[in-house]
Every structure is written in C-alpha cells, then in structure tokens.
Amino acid sequence: MHEDPAIQKLLENMLFLLRSMRRGMDPETAKDGFTIPQRIVMGLLLHYGELSVKELSQKVGLSHSTVSGIIDRLENKGLAIRIQHPQDRRITKVKLSGPVSDDWKNKLHQTMFSDFVSAFQKATPEEQTKILDGLAILRRLLETTENNKND
C-alpha cells in the first residue's frame, strides 16, 4: 500500500483498467494468433486507411522498430502492405490488404475495448467530457515524462 492515498487510488484504478482490458479479449478471438499491439495497429489502419510507420508509432505509443516488426508480421500473414511514395522512397505508408474480411473487421471492433466503449456510452455527456479530459491530461503528462527520458 502506498503512503499517499491519491497515488494508492491511482494504482488501484490502473490495475482495475488493465484487468478490464484483459477480460475484453474474447477467448475465441484470441485464438487467431494476433497480439494486442497487432490488433491495435490493424484497428488504426481500419480507421485511418493509410498511415506511415511513424504515424502508427505515435498513435500506438511504441517505437518505430517495434511497429515496423508488427507490420512485418502482418505482411507475412497477407493482412497489410507497405506502399512506397513514388517520388520519395523514404516515405512508406501502410494499409490493410484486401484479404481482411468484413467478419474479422467486425470482431476487431467488438473485442478488447468493447466494455470501455459500452461503459463510456452509458456515461452522461458531462461524464464523457470529464473522462476524455482526464485521459488527455494523463496522456500529456506521460508523453512529457517519456520525452524527458529520451532527451
């Protein structure tokens, strides 16, 4: 137990959220062999279409090399393709390939975060605003901490 009650409450809530995310992984869907980061990358590509590895890295919060490895594995499974910019070969975009079925897309959206989305939708508009504001503040602080570690 932490001596600061606010920090103790933060830790307890973070552990609860982590457990909730793990429970959100449907056992049947988890058998398909995709990791949580792969699912997140695929979800981002579904939502945004084409993204660069750099953009994906920023959105997922993982290093460029880690995301590049995720893309490699998705390419090997025939689920993603890299597209080089015709004039500047340094710029590479990634998109999902054709074989990603509509059924799989629906499963991707329904798993992992479905409990969070459902709970968020039950919140009042004022509560939704508070949740989003709190998460934005926490993200900003974590990004600042991470950037200071990298300097």
SS3 label, residue 88:
coil
Its sign, for the CA torsion 41, 66, 78, 52, is positive
For residue 109, which of 17, 48, 44 has the smallest C-alpha distance?
Answer: 44
Q: Determine the pLDDT at residue 85.
A: 82
Q: Quick check: 84 and 54 in contact, CB under 8 A? A: no
Residue 96 is classified by DSSP as E
Residues of the chain above pLDDT 70, percent: 79
Q: DSSP states of 12-75 as a string?
A: HHHHHHHHHHHHTS-HHHHTT---HHHHHHHHHHHHHSSEEHHHHHHHHT--HHHHHHHHHHHH
Burial of 111 (0-12, 13-18, 19+ CB in 10 A): middle
Q: Give the type of residue at 101.
A: S
User: Where does the pLDDT of residue 133 fall: very low under 50, low under 70, confident under 90, or very high at 90 and above?
Assistant: very high
Average pLDDT of the chain to the nearest whole number: 82
- Give the pLDDT mean for 17-39: 69
Report phi then psi at 84, rounded to 5.
Answer: -85, 145
User: Where does the pLDDT of residue 90 fall: very low under 50, low under 70, confident under 90, or very high at 90 and above?
Assistant: confident
Q: Determine the pLDDT at residue 110.
A: 58
Please compute, for residue 69, the number of CA atoms within 13 A of its CA located in the half-sphere on the CB side: 7
Residue 1: pLDDT above 70? no
Highest mean pLDDT among 56-60, 100-104, 127-131: 127-131
For the chain, list the domains and their CATH numbers. Answer: 1-24+113-151 (no CATH), 27-110 (1.10.10.10)
Region of 112 please: left (phi>0), alpha (psi -120 to 50) or beta.
left
User: Where does the pLDDT of residue 101 fall: very low under 50, low under 70, confident under 90, or very high at 90 and above?
Assistant: low
User: Where does the pLDDT of residue 134 fall: very low under 50, low under 70, confident under 90, or very high at 90 and above?
Assistant: very high
Q: ∠ CA(129), CA(50), CA(54), 5° rounding?
A: 75
Residue 31: pLDDT above 70? no
pTM of the prediction? 0.63
